[in-house]
Structure 1
Amino acid sequence: MQGSVSAVAAEDNEELERFRRQWLEEVWSKKKPQGSQDGAAAFTPTSTSAEPATQSPPQSPPAHRTTHRRASHHNEATSPVLGARKVGPASATAQFGPSLQRAVEVYRKAVQHEQKSELDDALRLYRSAFRMDSNVDRAYQLFEEELHRKAAAASPTQKAQQHKKTPSGTAVLEGLLSDMQALDLGPSRIPVAHAYGEGFVTGTLANLISSWPPELTFERDPESEEEGVPIRMLPDEILIIILRRLDHSALERFARVNRKARVITLDASIWRPRVQTIYRPPQIPDEEEFEALVVKYMTDYRRIYIEHPRVRYDGVYIAVCHYIRNGVGENVWVNYSHLITYYRYLRFYPDGQVLSLLANEEHSPSQVIPILKPTLRKKGFFIGTWYLDGTELHIDDLLPKEPTAAETRYSFQMVLDLRSRPVGRWNRLDFRSYESVHIASGEATPLALKNERSFWFSKVRSYV
């Protein structure tokens, strides 16, 4: 396989080289004047010059030469785009038509692909550009020359700055410090100093908090001035200890009280233990991935909890499925159809174990959820393993609790997509594949997903 890939790459390189060589020969032939056999005479400039340029076309162009080299001023004098007279870049771009402008844009993209060593795309775009206009290379050179002229005119002091004396190490350090102090990094990463002075907030919430005053407090309701505010008597340390015992839903409801409550709930000592407990295998590939995760979100643990994919342990994922079955009746002129409803349940554990149950409509979710435990003995009940890879959830080795001889021949596996509706809930699982696996041979057979529906998360307060 590798040999075929290298052969294809070699053929592409040879094709690109042949295209370059053919294109250069056409350019050299166009530059020769009518009735002249001397190749050097083709490069004699029409304008007077102290040292006229004399060049001869190369017999075999070097492999590293690209088709986007800049033309000299002598070549511009005989440009086939603008005629025999010498014209500046400004007037040249003014004469570009719409088709030539499109060709130049395609040519520019080809140059970018070639600089990135993407030769296939570069060759395709070069061909397209020359089909649109045969002189696109000259037009591109003139256009690039004009851009450089404008850039040089916009910064007239650039050359003078290059000849300035290099500042000392102390001056450079002072300049870096002044530049760092001038940076406004507040909205992107704001420290939240509370009881323990730890925690950072990033993103949109940081932009909002940056506009708030530094001193915040719990304020009295203006409509009931006689009532006091007992929560003011609690130190921040005690309030944070109380908030640690709440779940994320209660925390966010408390944060809606006022600004002081919002800032208090951002303390890292509240969110860090939750994140450290949840984001470990099988939620992430390995323990080292957690450190990279913290760096990625700039130590904003609350944002990790909300935005990074996670399978929830505080409830059950339920899929309500339906299908229609044809019935038989005494009256042959009447067609009978039955709507059949069944449920699929998935319950995940932090140790990588998953419970799967297929139940009919005779048993409602309110009856099934309290008994959905590893000790359950019921037809359609399977136990397997799971792991999360990004937003892709893999469930493998689904087998009955006490399989019979026939049931031990096959196991089941699922691949589902983890989604969040709305953001932060991670409450939906979409079927991607469902297969039965022959244990002896390892052969997987896809199962029909026509009647399967997405799983939706349902929080469970207690399984008692």
Structure 2
Amino acid sequence: MPRTAYMESDLESFRQQWQQEILQQRQQKQVLKEDNVSIITNKIQDASNLGNSTLIPVIEESNLSKNDGSISFLINSFCNMTFDLLPLNPTKKIHISKLPNELLICILKQLILAGDVNSLENGFALVCKKFFLLSRDSSIWHLLCERIYNVDNHKELVKMCVNTHGNDWRRMYIERPRVRLDGVYISKCKYLRPGLAENTWIQPTHLVTYYRYLRFFSDGSCITLLTTKEPIQVVKNFDKIVSILKISEKSKNFMIGYWKFMNNDDISSENQVIIRANDNGLPKFTFHLKFDLKSTSIGKFNKLSWIEYYSVNNLTTEKTELLLKNESNYYFSKEFLSCNRGKKIKKKKKRKKSYSTQYSHVVPNRSTDWAISGLTSEIGRVPVLFTVYGRNLR
């Protein structure tokens, strides 16, 4: 028999064997797929171990058979499994493994109330599969949405979540506009004004710089401060209630107020935030601030743009519009809060005063500077920080 005939017979036998192996593999995959679907669609006996609220609703068999690679499918595949916490060192015990899931969820809720959502998502949920499932509990995100959106009627919040976000509280927290409670919104304002010339050869110009600080709280209250101090000197005290009270006693430009969103039914105004604040030094006036909440390339909902700013006389109900010409937008920052906890700030060395640049705290006169800073002469005094620039006119 020629050599080519032997080769053809060998190839034919190899081809038949290969086809049989492929067929067996496909049949095994189909059997495993059917077994997984039947296991997941059965009633979950240990669903109570995941907390009072159900993490994963029952899904139809047709949807479970489709592995789309999403997180929801991943959670559904985990729901029928039991997870144990194992230590890295076998000789040591894990005390947290003794706690029931209901108690762990209560601890996570306290973490949310403390305003540390980042630790829940980027810390606790990344430890293991069990902690990941606990961090997705709907009661945690429900509590967080109640804390963030400050709605008077709870039924409106539930209706909003069901109709707009598919009854997913975590999705609502991510997608719907919200104010940031874990930091401070800062606005740096500058303007120029002419100075008094000592002679005809030099004409000085003042660069006035001041800062506005705004922080929101979950109970619907907020604080705002107008000062010349830089953020590294001021923001470190904004996370301590005692320090806030000290600031309010020392500063004449410290206001305490309440915030809320505009009408939630109107889509065009759902990003607008309204603040009504009072100054202890000016009890006759109530200040109204209106902002547009926006996102930037750096982060979500980290910018507040001015829309309206006015004061109302509580005795005469007279409304006075305050100028926004020199006011800048607010930008969110939490790095000062995080970096200053438990750390001492090093004092900078004092620089010698020069002829061209001088820094000092001054009180602007009542006739001219109120129009520049956006306030009226009846409201109060604003400390400003100015720099003198000399320009030769020869």
Give the TM-score normalised by structure 1: 0.46
Alpha-carbon distance in structure 2 between the residues aligned to 1:255 and 1:236? 14
Partner SS for 1:284: coil
Q: What one-letter code is carried by the residue in structure 2 that aligns with 1:429?
A: L
> What amino acid is the match of 1:309?
P
The aligned counterpart of 2:329 is 453
Kindly indicate whether residue 157 of structure 2 is the aligned counterpart of residue 287 of structure 1.
no
1:419, distance to aligned residue in structure 2 (A) = 3.2
| Unmatched tracts of structure 1, length 5 or more | 1-180, 182-190
Question: SS where residue 415 of structure 1 aligns?
Answer: strand
The amino acid that maps onto 1:205 is I
What is the deviation of 1:233? Answer: 5.8
In the TM superposition, residue 292 of structure 1 has moved relative to its aligned partner by 0.6
Give the whole-Å Cα distance in 2 for the aligned partners of 1:387 and 1:270. 22
- Per-residue Cα deviation, 1:134-178 (whole angstroms, up to 9, x for no partner): xxxxxxxxxxxxxxxxxxxxxxxxxxxxxxxxxxxxxxxxxxxxx
1:69 is aligned to none
* 1:400 alignment partner in structure 2: 279
CA contact (8 A) 1:322 1:341 kept: yes
Q: Is the contact made by 1:317 and 1:345 (CA closer than 8 Å) also made in structure 2?
A: yes
Aligned to 1:268: 138
CA offsets 1:322-375 (integer angstroms, 9 cap, x no match): 334444566865664444321112234455443322111379314763533498
> What is the aligned counterpart of 1:249 among 118, 124, 138?
118
Moved more, 293-302 or 333-342: 333-342
5 Å-filtered alignment, 1:20-169, equals: none
Cα distance in 1 for residues equivalent to 2:70 and 2:201: 65
Check the 8 A contact 1:325/1:337 in 2, yes or no: yes
Structure 1: which amino acid aligns with 2:321? T
Distance 1:383 1:254, change over 3 A: closer
Q: Is 1:432–2:307 an aligned residue pair? A: yes
2:72 to 200, 206, 227: 206
1:316 aligns with 2:195: no
Structure 1 equivalent of residue 81 of structure 2 = 215
Aligned equivalents of 2:82, 2:298: Cα separation in 1: 28
Shift of 1:451: 3.5
Deviation per CA, 1:92-135, whole angstroms, max 9, x where unpaired?
A: xxxxxxxxxxxxxxxxxxxxxxxxxxxxxxxxxxxxxxxxxxxx
Separation (CA, whole Å) in 1 of partners of 2:299 and 2:132: 17
Tell me which of 341, 344, 356 is aligned to 2:224.
356
Higher Cα radius of gyration: 1
Percent of aligned positions with the same letter in both sequences?
A: 31
Counterpart in 2 of 1:304? Answer: 172
How many residues end up aligned between the 2 structures? 266
1:192 and 1:263 in contact (8 A); partners too: no
- Verify: 1:412 aligned to 2:277, yes or no: no
Q: Which amino acid aligns with 2:310?
A: E
Q: Deviations over 1:378-421 (max 9, x none)?
A: 2222344432122211123x4421427xxx3x543211012355
Q: Measure the CA separation in 1 of the matches of 2:221 and 2:228.
A: 23
Mapped to 1, the partners of 2:246 and 2:216 lie a distance apart of: 11
Q: In the aligned structure 2, how far is the partner of 1:381 from the partner of 1:343?
A: 12
Map 1:174-213 → 2, pairs under 5 A: 194-196=50-52, 198-200=54-56, 205-207=71-73, 209-210=75-76
TM-score by length of 2: 0.52
Closer/same/farther in 2, CA of residues 374 and 275 from structure 1, 3 Å limit = farther
In structure 2, relative to structure 1, the CA distance for the partners of 1:451 and 1:375 (3 Å cut) is closer
Distance change (3 Å), C-alpha of 1:346 and 1:197: closer
**Are positions 1:386 and 2:265 aligned together?**
no
Instruction: Give, in whole Å, the separation in 1 of the partners of 2:208 and 2:48.
Output: 54
CA distance in 2, matches of 1:211, 1:423: 35
CA distance, structure 2, for counterparts of residue 210 and residue 275 of structure 1 = 24
Distance 2:327 2:98 in 1: 58
Evaluate the alpha carbon distance shift between residue 239 and residue 193 of structure 1 in structure 2; reply closer, same or farther with a 3 A threshold: closer
- Given that residues 214 and 225 in structure 2 are in contact (C-alpha distance below 8 angstroms), is that contact kept between their aligned partners in structure 1? yes
| Structure 2 Cα separation of the partners of residues 458 and 434 of structure 1 | 25
Indicate the RMSD between aligned Cα atoms, in angstroms.
4.5
Deviates more, 1:443-452 or 1:423-432: 423-432
Q: Which has the higher contact order (CA 8 A, sep 6+)?
A: 2
CA offset at residue 261 of structure 1? 2.7
Instruction: Report what 1:376 is aligned to.
Output: 248
Report the residue type matching 2:109 in the other structure: R
Contact 2:178 / 2:301 at 8 angstroms: preserved in 1?
Answer: yes
Q: 1:413 to 1:270 in 2, by over 3 A?
A: closer
Q: Following the alignment from structure 2 to structure 1, what is the Cα–Cα distance between the partners of residues 230 and 134?
A: 48
Structure 2 unaligned regions, length at least 5? 1-36, 38-46, 60-68, 263-269, 343-394
Could you tell me how far apart the structure 2 residues matched to 1:303 and 1:373 are?
36
